[in-house]
Amino acid sequence: MKEENKVPGEISRRRFLQRSGLLAVGLGAVALVGCGDDDDGEETGTPTGTSPAGTSTGQATATASPRLETVNIGLLYPLTGVASGFGNPIVDGFKFAFDRINAAGGVKNPNGMNISINPVLVDTESSPDVAPQKAEELGNRSDILLVSGVSQSAAVLQVAQVFARLNVPLLCSVDARDELTSSGFTQTFRIPPGFDTGSRFIVRAMDEIGTAAGEPMTKVAIIYHSGVPAVGDSMEEEATKLGFNVAEKISYDSQTEDFTTMMVRLKDTGVDGLILNVLSADAIKLVQVMKQLDYNPLGVGAHAGGFNDAGFVATLGADAENMITAGWFFTDEQVDGADAVVNEWKQTTGNDIPILAPLGISAAAVVANALSRVEELSREALIQALSETDMQLGEDDFLVANGCKFDATGVNTAFVHVVGQYQGGVGKSIWPPDIAGGEAVWPRPAWS
C-alpha cells in the first residue's frame, strides 16, 4: 500500500511485524528479569505459562514501575433542590479525599497499578423521578466503576434497583432507609446503617450518660416524624429493653404548626427525657416551645435530623445549648488522623468542616481501600473487594466510628453513632466514652 493512500491511523504490515517483534522481545525480557529477581524460589519454578494470571502479573510488576490508571467513580447526589443540603457537603468530602489521594500519587495497588480517582458528579436535582434516570445513564457508562449515592430516601430504592440490574457497585455514604440493604441488592454497601437501626444508639447513649451522671431518665417520650415510622418503633423497643417507662410515642408530620399542646402534656405528665427524630424546622419549634413552657427534662436527645442541621445552632443560638444529637463525626473525637483532616479542610476551604463531609471522606476511604486490593479494574472485582473491607477507625482517613466491615447484606457492622452535645455553641462528642472528646452536661440546666 502506498504511503499516500493509507487510511489515517492504519499501519503497514511491515511496521506491524516490527512492532509485534519488539513487544514480544520486551515482554520476554521483563518475564526473564522477573524470574531472576525472585529470591524465595517458591514461584520461580512455576512455568509462566501455567501460573494463575494474578501470580504472573505480580511477578511482572515486582520490578516494572506501576502503570498509572484512572478510574471514574460516579457521585450521584442531590446537588440542587431541597435535599442539596445533604448532597453538597458529602460530595465536597469525596472531592477533598480524592484530591488528597491523587496528590499522594493515587491508590497503590500491589498488582502493578497506581490508581488515580476521578469523581463524576451527577445531580439528582433532589427529585425521585430524576434520580433513577441519572442512575440509568451512569450505570450504562462502561467507564464508571462504582457509584456512591444518593442520600435521598424517596429515590434510593429505585436507584439501587437500577444499579443491581446493571451490576454496578453502589456505596451509600448515608441514607435513612434500612430497606436499602435488606432488599437483596448484593452489590450495595452502606456505611452508616438505616435510621431504624441507627436510632437505637441515641437511646443507649442517653441511658448510659444519665446513669453515669447518677440521674438517669425514668419516664421518656419519643417524638418522631411520620415519614420514618419504624424509627419510632425502634426507639420504643430499645427504650423498653433498657427499662424506661415510655410514656408516649408521638408521630407528627410536617403540617404540624405548633407543638405547645403536645409539650404541655409531656411536662404535666412528668416526662423527664425526650428522645427525638425530627426535621430541621420542627427541631427549632420544639426547643422554642420547651423554653416558652420552661420545660426542663433531664436530657433532650435526637437521632440525626434537625438537631444535626447547621441551622439548628445558627438559629437558636444559646437556646440550643446542651441539646444532644447522634451524629457521624465531631471534630473533637479521639480518632487517629482526624485532626489532620480537619485542619487541612480548614486550610483548603477556609471553612470549618461541615458535619456531613466526613461521610464523603470516609466513603472515599472505603473506595480507595477496595481499589488497593482489586486484582483488576472491573465492577465485579470491586464488589468482591468491597465485601472484604475491614477498616479500623482512623485508617486511611476513615472517620466514621467505629470502622468499616460489611456483612453479607452490605451493612457496616462496625458502625457506632457518635453522640454529641452543643456546648458553647459547638457540637462536642460525649459518647461513646472511648471516642468522645468531652464530658456530657447532665442533667440539662434549667432554662431559667
Binding window for another protein (CB under 8 A); candidates: 253-261, 338-346, 404-412, 428-436: 253-261
Tell me, letter by letter, the H, E, C secondary structure of 393-404. Answer: CCHHHCCCCCCE
Closest separation in Å from C-beta 438 to another protein:
25
Residue 151 or 197: the one with the smaller Cβ distance to another protein is: 151
> Does 291 engage in binding with another protein (CB under 8 A)?
yes
> Does 293 engage in binding with another protein (CB under 8 A)?
yes
**Assigned C-alpha cell, 424:** 458553647
> Does 176 engage in binding with another protein (CB under 8 A)?
no
Spell out the residues 6+ positions from residue 16 whose beta carbon is closer than 8 angstroms to its own. none
List binders of another protein among 306-335 (CB under 8 A).
309, 311, 315-317, 319
Residue the block writes with cell 454496578: 168
Q: Which is nearest to 382 in space by CA: 55, 59, 113?
A: 113
8 A C-beta contact, residue 419 and residue 324: yes
- How many residues bind another protein (CB under 8 A)? The answer is 41
Residue 258 or 352: the one with the smaller Cβ distance to another protein is: 258
Among 76, 222, 279, 370, binds another protein (CB under 8 A): 279
Q: Where are the alpha helices (DSSP H) in 356-441?
A: 357-371, 379-387
> Does 133 engage in binding with another protein (CB under 8 A)?
no
> Does 131 engage in binding with another protein (CB under 8 A)?
no
310-335 residues labelled b (16+ CB within 10 A) or e (exposed) = eebbebbeebbbbbbbbbbbbbbbeb
Among 51, 116, 288, 372, binds another protein (CB under 8 A): 288
Among 142, 261, 347, 448, binds another protein (CB under 8 A): 261
| Torsion angle of the four alpha carbons 209, 356, 149, 338, in this order, in degrees rounded to the nearest 10 | -90
Among 213, 262, 377, 426, binds another protein (CB under 8 A): 262
Residue 410 CB burial class (10 angstroms; 0-12, 13-18, ≥19): buried
Among 30, 130, 230, 281, binds another protein (CB under 8 A): 281
Binding window for another protein (CB under 8 A); candidates: 79-87, 165-173, 376-384, 407-415: 79-87
> Does 129 engage in binding with another protein (CB under 8 A)?
no
Q: How many helices (H) and strands (E) does the chain have?
A: 14, 15
3-state helix, strand, coil in the chain (%, to 5): 45, 20, 35
> Does 253 engage in binding with another protein (CB under 8 A)?
yes
Strand duo 219-225 + 245-252: pairing: parallel
> Does 127 engage in binding with another protein (CB under 8 A)?
no
Which positions from 215 to 244 touch another protein by CB under 8 A, shown as an x/- string? -----------x------------------
Binding window for another protein (CB under 8 A); candidates: 132-140, 147-155, 205-213, 247-255: 247-255
Binding window for another protein (CB under 8 A); candidates: 12-20, 285-293, 345-353, 431-439: 285-293
**Assigned C-alpha cell, 74:** 460516579
> Does 259 engage in binding with another protein (CB under 8 A)?
yes
8 A C-beta contact, residue 301 and residue 201: no
Summarize as ranges the residues that interact with another protein (CB under 8 A).
Answer: 80-85, 126, 226, 250-253, 255-262, 264-265, 268-269, 279-281, 284-285, 288-289, 291-294, 309, 311, 315-317, 319
